[in-house]
Amino acid sequence: MILTYRDALRKAMTDEIERDENVFLIGEDIGRYQGTFRVTQGLFEQFKQKRVLDTPISEPGVVGIATGAAMVGLRPIVEMMTMSFSILALDQIINHAAKIHYMTGGQFTVPMVVRGPGGAANQLSAQHSHSMEGWYAHVPGLKVVAPSTPRDAYGMLKTAVRDDNPVVFTENPGLYAVKGEIPEDEDFTIPFGKCAIRAEGKDITLIGYSRMALVCMEVAEELDKEGISAEVIDVRSLLPLDSETIFNSVNKTHRAVVLYEDWKSGGFGAELVARIQDSCFDHLDAPIGRVGGLNVPMPYARNLELLCIPSKDDLLAQVRKTLA
Nearest to 8 by CA among 208, 210, 167, 147: 147
The C-alpha atoms of residue 152 and residue 158 are separated, in whole angstroms, by 10
Full 3-state SS string of 7-18: HHHHHHHHHHHH
> Is 56 in a helix, a strand, or coil?
coil
Could you tell me if 66 and 139 are in contact, meaning their C-beta atoms sit under 8 angstroms apart? no
Which one of the listed residues 16, 128, 171, 231 is annotated catalytic?
A: 128
Q: How many CB atoms lie within 10 A of CB 161?
A: 26
The C-alpha atoms of residue 93 and residue 218 are separated, in whole angstroms, by 35
Nearest to 121 by CA among 77, 83, 163, 92: 83
181 annotated active-site: no
Given phi > 0 = left and psi -120 to 50 = alpha, else beta, which region is 206? beta
128 annotated active-site: yes
The C-alpha atoms of residue 110 and residue 195 are separated, in whole angstroms, by 25
Nearest to 275 by CA among 312, 235, 310, 316: 235
Q: Could you list the beta-strand ranges (E) of 151-271.
A: 167-171, 179-181, 196-199, 204-208, 230-234, 237-239, 256-263
Say which residues have a Cβ less than 8 Å from residue 38's Cβ, sequence separation at least 6: 6
Which one of the listed residues 16, 28, 59, 231 is annotated catalytic?
A: 59
Active site residues per annotation: 59, 128
